[in-house]
Amino acid sequence: MKRSTIACVLLAFAAFWVASSASSNEVRDSDAAIDGGEFGLLYRCGFGPRNTVVLDGDLNDLAWGAAPWHFVDHKTGTGPAPNDENASLQFAAVADNEWLYVAIDVTDDEIQNAEDSAGDVWKDDSVEIYIDADDGGTQTYDAEEGKWDTQISIGAENFDGDPEAPILGGSGQGPDTGTHAAVVETATGYIVEAAVPLDSPGKWDFALEDGLVIGFNIHMNDDDDGGERDNKLIWSANDVDDQSWQNPSRFADLEFVSSLLAVDPAGKAATTWGALRR
């Protein structure tokens, strides 16, 4: 084989590798000391008193840097997009003593956030966080304290809004869960930085401990040209028919794992997550 031919073949392989690796679902453990779980089935969420996150749409919080991230590519869901630049996301979750924080870093090429609001925001650019308080996995939503199921919809209509009073939608009284959220536009899409209260009166009151499991899912709605939704991405591998909004058996799981951010001796910055038991 000529050298130029070999070079061409290598280039083709490299291009294929880059293309395929840029669009594959994966769990990114990064600096996390805890195992990140299993894509589409389990997210392992570190909890500890130092995990407090500032809701400002900036993901420079120490807790985000140490959390595992799950990357959802453009093909995963009931409405696949043409490529990751058009629609994809990565998310992470951490908890302190009061809140379950969820960060969703969305890649979206065209923002549509002015046509639909709150309960109809699934037709515009938006994300959805799902909680099944007892991991009951029932076929319909429970509306009983401790077993509560909910869908919390957060749209790009919240750009630069008040994080303590976001416009929310969702079934199972999602807007009444007490969830806060900051939503900001980025060069490649938008970021949602949300906080779901661990105590939502009448719905749930989580006492976090190692191994506590709740039902959990993340969705992304993508509208690029106005009107109806164009793409729908779904993290949970159980949700093959976009039924999470009314069927908790489609959710995956979130497991709480005790983890303290370890502070370096100078006390300036957390450098890693120590698997320190309290």
Binding mask 57-86 for Ca ion (x = CB under 5 A): -x--x------------------------x
Size of the site for Ca ion (CB under 5 A): 18
- Which residue lies nearer to Ca ion by CB, 33 or 62? 62
Which amino acid is located at 153 in the chain?
Answer: S
Helix and strand element counts for the chain (H, E)? 2, 18
Which amino acid is located at 222 in the chain?
Answer: D
User: Which residue has the closest beta carbon to Ca ion?
Assistant: 136
Binding mask 133-152 for Ca ion (x = CB under 5 A): -x-x-----x----x-x---
- Which residue lies nearer to Ca ion by CB, 39 or 61? 61
- Residue 54 is a binding residue for Ca ion (CB under 5 A): yes
Residue in 73, 105, 222, 253 binding Ca ion, rule: CB under 5 A: 222
Residue 43 CB, shortest distance to Ca ion, in Å, is 17
Sort residue 225 into left (φ over 0), alpha (ψ -120 to 50) or beta.
Answer: alpha
- Which residue lies nearer to Ca ion by CB, 105 or 132? 132
Nearest to 127 by CA among 177, 194, 201, 176: 194
As beta bridge partners, residue 102 has 93, 194
- Which residue lies nearer to Ca ion by CB, 112 or 259? 112
- Cα separation, 15 vs 33, in Å, equals 32
Binding mask 93-132 for Ca ion (x = CB under 5 A): ---------------xxx--------------x------x
225, two tokens: 């040209």
Nearest to 235 by CA among 130, 139, 138: 130
Q: What is the DSSP letter of 241?
A: S
Contact residues for Ca ion, defined by CB under 5 A: 54, 56, 58, 61, 86-87, 108-110, 125, 132, 134, 136, 142, 147, 149, 222, 224
